[in-house]
């Protein structure tokens, strides 16, 4: 009995608990503001609206846990959409397959470049990824100076099966409840679930928490950091698939607003910017919280300028609150000054 009580206290003292509470609170507020919030249609619409930020946030979380940060995430998504829509020809369904492969290769390549900069050249991650974000942007503008391009029809499979031809009614009905975006997110979760059970998953935490200790334990820290960047690439790739499925076009500036929002969402979800701490799944919850906040601001019916302003303030408040909460609990548990050099 007392054991259960103490494990309950442990659960409450975890930052995850506060994140969960905030999420529930946000759900309640949103549901009060939007009468049909829990209707299937509106749930599906919300999943579609939130999917890109969720995927980018999960990728960002992996990089931050490994001790890095990715300021190039948004432009990377843009570049992937440009690659996809450049390789594809609407008339030729097979070109879609080539586009997928080419885009995945480009995505992984971007991860490798970031990883080399961070891990092997030991340039601070902020600098590396800020610089590479311009490389991605430049490349994207080269491929697609203005939004456009074309996509094969079956790319709707990543957004809305209902608008496709030659698909059984049953499948259409199914995806009207469980939209493709949900599956993209589930693919992301499954990927991380598998990775976190392998060496690399453990090592990403170890390197992010204390790279010297990890090195002394015989871990190739540069390789782990590169791998983290490449895992992030896969999440960005999934986000880009959604975008192209949705708009059937590529856009070099499409991902710009995603970068900072994803970092904020990861932190709201309990990912420590210092690395080594946090859960990728809760980063997903963080992305949900941030998206709901935007919705609430929208419902509050304030002008767009204020929306942006309030959005920024809320991000800072949320990050400060979650850090204060973590700090408070760590002090009580760890007796404060227990630090490792």
Determine, following the binding rule CB under 8 A, whether residue 206 of this chain makes contact with another protein: yes
Determine, following the binding rule CB under 8 A, whether residue 216 of this chain makes contact with another protein: yes
Determine, following the binding rule CB under 8 A, whether residue 220 of this chain makes contact with another protein: yes
Task: Tell me how many residues contact another protein (CB under 8 A).
Answer: 34
Name which position in 81, 85, 209, 259 contacts another protein (CB under 8 A): 209
Q: Which is nearer to another protein, 313 or 340 (CB)?
A: 340
**Which uninterrupted H or E stretch holds 178?**
none
Determine, following the binding rule CB under 8 A, whether residue 276 of this chain makes contact with another protein: yes
The long-range contacts involving 311-317, CB below 8 angstroms and separated by at least 24 positions, are: 315/261, 315/264, 315/268, 315/290
Ramachandran class of 276: left when φ > 0, alpha when ψ lies in -120 to 50, beta otherwise: left
Shortest CB 216 distance to another protein, Å: 4
Spell out, one character per residue from 136 to 175, where the chain touches another protein: x when CB under 8 A holds, - when not.
----------------------------------------
Determine, following the binding rule CB under 8 A, whether residue 277 of this chain makes contact with another protein: yes
Q: Which residues 19-58 are close enough to bind another protein by CB under 8 A? A: none
Name which position in 95, 210, 307, 323 contacts another protein (CB under 8 A): 210
Name which position in 1, 5, 198, 305 contacts another protein (CB under 8 A): 198
Name which position in 83, 214, 241, 290 contacts another protein (CB under 8 A): 214
Q: Which is nearer to another protein, 245 or 278 (CB)?
A: 278
Determine the Cα–Cα distance for residues 282 and 141; give it in Å rounded to an integer.
34
In this structure, are residues 128 and 227 in contact, taking their beta carbons and an 8 Å threshold? no
Determine, following the binding rule CB under 8 A, whether residue 338 of this chain makes contact with another protein: yes
Shortest CB 101 distance to another protein, Å: 23
In this structure, are residues 294 and 311 in contact, taking their beta carbons and an 8 Å threshold? yes
Determine, following the binding rule CB under 8 A, whether residue 320 of this chain makes contact with another protein: no
Determine, following the binding rule CB under 8 A, whether residue 217 of this chain makes contact with another protein: yes
Q: Output the CA–CA distances (angstroms, integers) from residue 35 to 23, 30, 47, 162, 229, in the order listed.
A: 18, 9, 17, 25, 41
Determine the Cα–Cα distance for residues 174 and 160; give it in Å rounded to an integer.
11
Q: End-to-end CA distance of the chain, in Å?
A: 38
Question: Segment contacting another protein (CB under 8 A): 75-83, 84-92, 156-164, 326-334?
Answer: 326-334
Question: Segment contacting another protein (CB under 8 A): 18-26, 49-57, 199-207, 223-231?
Answer: 199-207
Secondary structure class of 69 (helix, strand, coil): coil
Q: Which is nearer to another protein, 301 or 341 (CB)?
A: 341
DSSP 289-330: HHHHHHHHHHHTT--HHHHHHHHHHHHHHHHHHHHHHHHHHH
Q: Which residues 88-117 are close enough to bind another protein by CB under 8 A? A: none
Name which position in 18, 34, 95, 213 contacts another protein (CB under 8 A): 213
What's the sign of the alpha-carbon dihedral 153, 158, 161, 166?
positive
Determine the Cα–Cα distance for residues 325 and 328; give it in Å rounded to an integer.
5
Question: Segment contacting another protein (CB under 8 A): 49-57, 69-77, 107-115, 214-222?
Answer: 214-222
- Which of 19, 150, 169, 174 lies closest to 87 in space, CA to CA? 150
């Amino acid at each position: 009995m007392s054991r259960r009580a103490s494990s309950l206290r442990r659960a409450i003292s975890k930052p995850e608990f506060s994140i969960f509470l905030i999420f529930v609170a946000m759900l309640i507020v949103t549901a009060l503001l939007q009468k049909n919030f829990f209707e299937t249609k509106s749930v599906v619409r919300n999943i579609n609206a939130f999917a890109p930020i969720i995927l980018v946030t999960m990728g960002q979380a992996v990089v931050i846990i490994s001790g890095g940060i990715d300021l190039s995430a948004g432009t990377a998504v843009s570049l992937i959409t440009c690659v996809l829509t450049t390789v594809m020809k609407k008339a030729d369904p097979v070109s879609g397959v080539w586009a997928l492969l080419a885009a995945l290769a480009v995505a992984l390549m971007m991860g490798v470049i970031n990883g080399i900069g961070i891990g092997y050249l030991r340039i601070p991650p902020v600098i590396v990824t800020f610089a590479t974000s311009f490389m991605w942007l430049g490349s994207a503008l080269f491929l697609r100076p203005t939004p456009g391009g074309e996509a094969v029809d079956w790319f709707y499979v990543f957004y809305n099966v209902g608008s496709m031809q030659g698909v059984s009614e049953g499948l259409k009905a199914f995806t009207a409840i469980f939209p493709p975006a949900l599956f993209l997110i589930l693919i992301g979760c499954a990927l991380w679930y598998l990775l976190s059970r392998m060496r690399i998953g453990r090592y990403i935490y170890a390197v992010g928490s204390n790279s010297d200790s990890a090195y002394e334990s015989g871990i190739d820290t540069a390789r782990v950091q590169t791998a983290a960047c490449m895992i992030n690439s896969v999440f960005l790739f999934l986000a880009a698939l959604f975008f192209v499925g949705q708009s059937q076009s590529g856009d070099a500036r499409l991902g710009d607003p995603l970068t900072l929002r994803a970092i904020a969402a990861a932190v709201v979800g309990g990912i420590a910017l210092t690395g080594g701490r946090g859960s990728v799944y809760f980063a997903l919850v963080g992305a949900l919280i941030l998206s709901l906040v935007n919705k609430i601001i929208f419902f509050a019916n304030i002008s767009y300028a204020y929306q942006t302003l309030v959005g920024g303030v809320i991000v800072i408040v949320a990050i400060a609150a979650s850090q204060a909460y973590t700090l408070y609990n760590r002090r009580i548990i760890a007796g404060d000054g227990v630090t490792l050099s």
